[in-house]
Amino acid sequence: MKRILLYSNYSNHNKQVVDLTIKNHYEYSSKYGLDFIYTQTEYTPYNNTEELKALLQIYDAVITIGTDILFTNFDKDIRDFIDDKYSIIIQQERSGVGVNGDFIIFNKTSTIFEELDLIEQQKKYYWSTQAELDSLSANLNMLILKPRTLQSINPTAYNGQEAKWKQGDFSVHCHRPSYAPKINDKVNDITNFIRSHKDIVC
């Protein structure tokens, strides 16, 4: 069986969010035998490529996930989304244009380390790993999934039907469409979602 890591990091800024979602991430990881690591760091919009390369020496896949995501369907095994032909598996942005960097699967393939080097080299040109992956999509061995495959958007904060969370979806991303939502709004959104869906959210 593949050895898989579910990985996230957080800063003091979003510690309140982590307090609401960490149990959900731990329970999902425990059910499917994933290793689970949360680290506290200064905020950065970039994935640490050197850290990913070190982790991929140990793991067959590393899944980076935003702290504002909740697993909502524990019957779905993350392994079913991992296609060994691809180094990076990511989802389209909610509009269907571009990609969303809050849920990424980095798969240990024969080319993943070279691809991580390429991503690192491009960092100075882009504002985030998400922007890098979007711009480099033609140069990477990357599978881009349709909206609502890995994550859906909190229905109370987003009106677009193509990405809005529905019962049975794998996870909900409690994110507002604005570039920099207030942390209290995010905390309230997550709290309200958990209260309304106690039957499916640990």
pLDDT tens readout for residues 100-146: 999 999 999 999 999 999 999 999 999 899 999 999 999 999 999 99
Long-range contacts of 151-156, Cβ-Cβ distance < 8 Å, separation of 24 or more: 151/69, 151/91, 151/100, 151/102, 151/103, 153/94, 154/189, 154/193, 156/189, 156/192, 156/193
Pairing of strands 152-153, 142-145: unpaired
Contact 127, 45 (CB under 8 A): yes
CA distance 61 to 187: 30
Residue at token pair 């593949």: 2
Using pLDDT thresholds of 50, 70 and 90, give the confidence band for residue 158: low
CA distance 108 to 88: 9
Residue at token pair 């990091």: 9
Question: Mind listing the pLDDT tens digit for each residue in 7-18?
Answer: 999 988 889 999
CA distance 198 to 152: 18
Q: What is the pLDDT of residue 161?
A: 66
Instruction: Indicate the fold that domain 4-196 takes in CATH.
Output: Spore Coat Polysaccharide Biosynthesis Protein SpsA; Chain A (3.90.550)
Contact 142, 89 (CB under 8 A): yes
**Nearest to 60, CA basis, from 95, 84, 38, 37:** 84
**Per-residue tokens: 76:** 């779905």
With a cut of 80, say whether residue 55 has pLDDT above it: yes
Q: What is the pLDDT of residue 6?
A: 98
Element (H, E) at 113: helix 112-121
Delimit the domains of the chain by residue range. Answer: 4-196
Using pLDDT thresholds of 50, 70 and 90, give the confidence band for residue 32: very high
Looking at every residue in the chain, the average pLDDT score rounds to 92
With a cut of 60, say whether residue 179 has pLDDT above it: no
Helix axes 183-196, 15-31, angle to 10 degrees: 40
With a cut of 80, say whether residue 78 has pLDDT above it: yes
